[in-house]
Structure 1
């Protein structure tokens, strides 16, 4: 038995915390985390450009495929010795967490990297890193391995012109399962940076593909909006986009157009960093847009009798780019995916509301066309609600039209309702007992679902399990599908947390993607994440979704006195209804994955390869990824 005393407490020093828990700093060690290393260094160069100290940024993917160089013509990281640490400023920036020049707000008015950990995190997670700095006519060099200096700061011979910083690094293969960078991901991020920082020349050199591209966009996000519209094949209903740019305490840039599309597409950025999870700037934009349009409609008395216009109607078809630059951004986590500054919401809302309202009043013909489009959306949404209510009433009075094994909910036909499509009768029984019947319906399926990718339409329609799914949803299938008839706000796939469960989920995803795609485009389809393991340590219980999560939990509690008791669930049917509710069904504690399609062409190709009749394509896919332990086919 180990003794739990002061000797058991471990204090990680230097960059060791980063290497022990990389996920805390870069979000994980998969592809996203790997490429995040590049963004951290690029963001530092962008910060120089944002503050008027750099005009060019060059990123090079070297011949080996896993070495990157990021160079700029900024001021160059200082190399003089720090009075307190007696180390050069360059060594401090690269070896000490929370060391940087952006805390006091004197050297950078706005910046993406304000935590002072980016460069040091990259250094900690790199097999090798070399920094070269040009300052005051001289050139300096320093090398590192896994965060530790391997050379002193060297002043190279000869005089040099200009200034700037160049960072070359290779990810550590003992940290990352794969260290080869994806050129297309790098290119897309750099092109976006050139749109957001107009006038900055961004060059990407791919030595693997032997290509070189330079991005320079003097019109900034206006050019970006045009590119996004073209990519999405969205037809604008007005020729000239709304644009707004102001440089005050908050520098705000907005470009938007209403299109014929039925969805809203918003891309937001803070100091050049994409905020995929939104935040207060997005909230302010949406609120300002809604108020501006409502004010215009009310002022000109344009609301038809009997039509109720919602926020969703106003924003339907919007394609917008929102970019702000602020001095002290408060991000949610080091990966900076969401902005939390509360004061930003009001600032953005006020600016957007006044500018859009003025623009609409100055362009009456454009504004009236936009309002006509909004009213049409409101009428369509009202018709959809009426149809949904009719289907709900019909389903309530004629239960024989619904599958006998469907355990329906009280609020079927309303947006808050949920349908869980569950693997197997046993799991369906547990889910039925554990659910909240007020808003959660359960449809159990027996065995593996038909592979609809390689089946004829007649075979698909004749399949009993598919019939039950379609009948329960109530909105039809294929070209005749009418989303207005959908009986549930969310459709949630719930299968065992093992390979068989993943296979069933894949089969269902294939069916929905091919035959009911609007469920995905409308954001209605989700995947539940049930636990695979229960881990009891002392009086505490932990739930692990897979083997990696189990290992992580055990490692975190390795020094505890109690011996962990691990239970592996053979299936959802083994879970007590109360446990299934707490871990998987309860909206307050569960985890849901929304099904989204970022790249239509790539998704189509992967489904065709994996699920289609051509076995050779499937064989190639498996062999190409045979070394990847995460592939499960």
Structure 2
């Protein structure tokens, strides 16, 4: 029995010091962000980043990533210098063993071996080793080949020099994630492919090969034009039509290497991809701030210099950047990332350097290309006028801070608790289902907002139409945090927003429509982990005295195969949530102790944008292709 430290026995014996790689296994989230899909694939990125570091410093020209036949084992190989294998003078251990078993051991601290690098903390390879069931390292150096094996971060063999001479140099790391750490250890081949292709754009001339032994495919990426090619791909994926043929492109390699490419399109949103030393920074940082600041100042200077300021309308930063698609990639010798997952850059000096470089170059480019610049300014003025026209409607539904109870929609059944983080808002399909949810909920912390009528497809709707929609007005008013650029997450009135629709195809369609709205117009709900999807049952299965709930046809068959021999099953298919008794809805869907919730997450921004555009946009041919490609595998819900 474990002793619990109390006020009387809290002494030195209660202090635990984790040694070696134990901290990584004990708290993996501190090192990879979590043990879900993103954390699992972060293991690959850590090893790939090490190979990329060799390439960006001129020591490697090719990287090969292999997904093995089991779908759970990855190999990353490069033709770089190879991790050193000689013994360290202090520890007397091979350098390879130190890199893979000791946190903060690496060759990137002194700045002598790498001018720029993505991995500067010296923890990436050792973290992957700690969280792997098995890991094997093979190093080629000085005409020989060396091998060492590990299990869950601990060596199982000594460093071995293999027989025979070999040509070239490099490192190959093969690892299998530990199922004791990760609930799911199967890799997503689409996610891997996209990340590797992005790496080839950011490091022009480097050949990146992806071998998928599961699908039996092999694909190589190499892009001599770098991020210019990347911009063309992003525009194509987003189906964004440029308003000028030639993009702005600038590259400088001085104390800091800065690469920028951008183009204005007919789209109504801004889309920026930013990278530091080849690592995607999804949360931006000082380099992104410098890019936006330089862009805004350059455009304003051009407008002022040529007397193009419109009458009766104020141009904002949002107007300048509306429809702009841009990519910024910087290479910094000493990047200061926010956390080991490297999602945000914090170097203050980078903002100043990027802003100065971008401002001067864009202003010169616009003055040298007057016809392009004037078309961009015309597009900005049109955006400003459209924003002014919709401002009144936007202010009608955009609320700063928490909404007062007297201003809430009449159909909202609010909860009694004023504690934001503990409260939940269920957005429910239909009045009938809303009635059952109201009766079945725990009114202390669960609020219910029923939706009446058809949910608007916001992907194809104008901003005015969206703001005029009664259901959207009610949702935004209930949430209390505003919409679009004025959204303030601090004003959100609930800790969780849960979409609750029928378990059939119609319910899935309604959920998809709501997800489209939140992704496009309230994305911070997703990035903050506040948006969830409830999983109500589609079937009730009675087997003797036992009752089971199945969320779909496959789950029903799984239950019948597992328990069907006990008695003749009585199966009831729910036509909708409104058919459920309030007690049943509580037991299966609302009760935190028994329910299942799916957190809405975005792992790949590019793929998410493409799918939403294809499925919900105006172009019906994209949906037709999607349906025809999957028609053979579809199960029709009738």
Quickly name the TM-score band, shorter chain normalised: 0.7 to 0.9
Please give the per-residue CA displacement for 1:497-528, whole angstroms capped at 9, x wherever unaligned: 79xx6635999995474389556423368478
| Cα pair 2:393 2:464 within 8 Å, conserved | no
Report deviation, 1:594. 9.9
Instruction: Give the distance between the partners of 1:468 and 1:186, measured in 2 at CA.
Output: 41
| Cα pair 1:66 1:170 within 8 Å, conserved | yes
Judging changes above 3 Å, is the alpha-carbon distance between structure 1 residues 164 and 592 closer, same or farther for their aligned structure 2 residues? Answer: closer
Tell whether 2:317 aligns with 1:311.
yes
TM-score for the superposition, normalised by structure 2: 0.72
Instruction: Give the distance between the partners of 2:523 and 2:496, measured in 1 at CA.
Output: 21
Tell whether 2:111 aligns with 1:105.
yes
- Counting only pairs closer than 5 Å after superposition, residues 519-534 of structure 1 correspond to structure 2 as 520-523=519-522, 526=525, 529=530
| Cα pair 1:76 1:163 within 8 Å, conserved | yes
| Cα pair 2:427 2:500 within 8 Å, conserved | no
What SS does the aligned partner of 1:238 have? coil
| Cα pair 2:316 2:384 within 8 Å, conserved | yes
- Counting only pairs closer than 5 Å after superposition, residues 240-319 of structure 1 correspond to structure 2 as 240-319=246-325
Instruction: Give the distance between the partners of 1:359 and 1:116, measured in 2 at CA.
Output: 41
What SS does the aligned partner of 1:482 have? helix
- Counting only pairs closer than 5 Å after superposition, residues 160-199 of structure 1 correspond to structure 2 as 160-199=166-205
**Structure 1 equivalent of residue 390 of structure 2:** 384
Q: Which deviates further from its counterpart, 516-525 or 21-30?
A: 516-525
Instruction: Give the distance between the partners of 1:175 and 1:371, measured in 2 at CA.
Output: 53
Instruction: Give the distance between the partners of 1:319 and 1:165, measured in 2 at CA.
Output: 37
| Equivalent position to 1:51, from 57, 60, 66 | 57
| Equivalent position to 1:202, from 205, 208, 231 | 208
Tell whether 2:217 aligns with 1:211.
yes
Report deviation, 1:386. 3.6
Report deviation, 1:136. 1.1
Gaps of 5+ in 1: 393-411, 436-440, 452-463, 532-568, 575-590, 609-615, 622-633
Judging changes above 3 Å, is the alpha-carbon distance between structure 1 residues 92 and 426 closer, same or farther for their aligned structure 2 residues? Answer: same
What SS does the aligned partner of 2:433 have? coil
Judging changes above 3 Å, is the alpha-carbon distance between structure 1 residues 525 and 115 closer, same or farther for their aligned structure 2 residues? Answer: closer
Tell whether 2:427 aligns with 1:430.
no
| Cα pair 2:237 2:610 within 8 Å, conserved | no
**Structure 2 equivalent of residue 135 of structure 1:** 141
What SS does the aligned partner of 1:34 have? helix
| Equivalent position to 1:91, from 94, 97, 100 | 97
| Equivalent position to 1:599, from 589, 603, 608 | 608
- Counting only pairs closer than 5 Å after superposition, residues 6-85 of structure 1 correspond to structure 2 as 6-85=12-91
| Cα pair 1:123 1:146 within 8 Å, conserved | yes
What SS does the aligned partner of 2:339 have? coil
**Structure 2 equivalent of residue 448 of structure 1:** 433
Please give the per-residue CA displacement for 1:385-404, whole angstroms capped at 9, x wherever unaligned: 14446xx4xxxxxxxxxxxx
| Cα pair 1:388 1:485 within 8 Å, conserved | no
Report deviation, 1:103. 0.6
TM-score for the superposition, normalised by structure 1: 0.73
Judging changes above 3 Å, is the alpha-carbon distance between structure 1 residues 271 and 606 closer, same or farther for their aligned structure 2 residues? Answer: same
- Counting only pairs closer than 5 Å after superposition, residues 329-340 of structure 1 correspond to structure 2 as 329-340=335-346
RMSD over aligned Cα, in angstroms?
4.2
Report deviation, 1:182. 1.1
Tell whether 2:451 aligns with 1:466.
yes
- Counting only pairs closer than 5 Å after superposition, residues 479-628 of structure 1 correspond to structure 2 as 482-485=465-468, 489-490=482-483, 503=500, 511=510, 513-514=512-513, 517=516, 520-523=519-522, 526=525, 529=530, 599=608
Report deviation, 1:8. 1.8
Report deviation, 1:156. 1.3
Number of residues paired by the alignment? Answer: 519
**Structure 2 equivalent of residue 544 of structure 1:** none
Judging changes above 3 Å, is the alpha-carbon distance between structure 1 residues 496 and 446 closer, same or farther for their aligned structure 2 residues? Answer: farther
Instruction: Give the distance between the partners of 1:447 and 1:216, measured in 2 at CA.
Output: 56
Q: Which deviates further from its counterpart, 156-165 or 374-383?
A: 156-165
**Structure 2 equivalent of residue 551 of structure 1:** none
Instruction: Give the distance between the partners of 1:254 and 1:601, measured in 2 at CA.
Output: 23
Report deviation, 1:158. 1.7
Q: Which deviates further from its counterpart, 360-369 or 131-140?
A: 131-140
Instruction: Give the distance between the partners of 1:111 and 1:54, measured in 2 at CA.
Output: 13
Judging changes above 3 Å, is the alpha-carbon distance between structure 1 residues 476 and 599 closer, same or farther for their aligned structure 2 residues? Answer: closer
| Cα pair 1:512 1:519 within 8 Å, conserved | no
| Equivalent position to 2:329, from 317, 323, 333 | 323
Judging changes above 3 Å, is the alpha-carbon distance between structure 1 residues 495 and 45 closer, same or farther for their aligned structure 2 residues? Answer: same
Please give the per-residue CA displacement for 1:264-315, whole angstroms capped at 9, x wherever unaligned: 0111000000000111111110010000000000000001211210000000
Instruction: Give the distance between the partners of 1:466 and 1:109, measured in 2 at CA.
Output: 57
Judging changes above 3 Å, is the alpha-carbon distance between structure 1 residues 191 and 9 closer, same or farther for their aligned structure 2 residues? Answer: same
Please give the per-residue CA displacement for 1:105-148, whole angstroms capped at 9, x wherever unaligned: 11001000001000000011111111111111111111111111
| Cα pair 1:82 1:88 within 8 Å, conserved | yes
Instruction: Give the distance between the partners of 1:299 and 1:29, measured in 2 at CA.
Output: 53
What SS does the aligned partner of 2:148 have? strand
Gaps of 5+ in 2: 437-448, 477-481, 533-585, 592-598, 617-622, 624-631
Judging changes above 3 Å, is the alpha-carbon distance between structure 1 residues 282 and 131 closer, same or farther for their aligned structure 2 residues? Answer: same
| Cα pair 2:262 2:326 within 8 Å, conserved | yes
